[in-house]
Amino acid sequence: QITLKESGPTLVKPTQTLTLTCNFSGFSFRTSGVAVGWIRQPPGKALEWLALIYWDDDKRYSPSLKSRLTISKDTFKNEVVLSMTNMDPVDTATYYCVHKPYNDISNLFDPWGQGTLVTVSS
């Protein structure tokens, strides 16, 4: 069974850098093709894909947020970290960690973590 769990601050101030950690179990970055990503959802709004990191350390970023995002992984700790700089109140959202299966051919994200709500406010 695959599980993912997000952790990090629930409140950040404007201009600060947000760092979120995703700890997962049930799969490994040692498996060719697997990836882990981040998706966010402002309260009452739509989903927005942010970043993705593959087993071979290939990284993809949302074109609109690329300059603010950094994603990294620790294969041994089964961990993925997302950093987002220069946080703004519009970045208030629930941030989800997601698994992309090794044999996926459709950019399917399954399963999702429980999500962590991050509020940006002074």
Which stretches of the chain bind another protein, using CB under 8 A?
37, 39, 46-49, 52, 60, 62-63, 96, 100, 105-115
Shortest distance in whole angstroms from residue 75 CB to another protein: 21
39, 45, 60, 93 from 57: Cα distances, Å: 18, 31, 10, 26
Comparison of 14 and 110: residue with beta carbon closer to another protein: 110
**Dihedral sign (CA 13, 5, 94, 58):** positive
Comparison of 16 and 62: residue with beta carbon closer to another protein: 62
Shortest distance in whole angstroms from residue 84 CB to another protein: 16
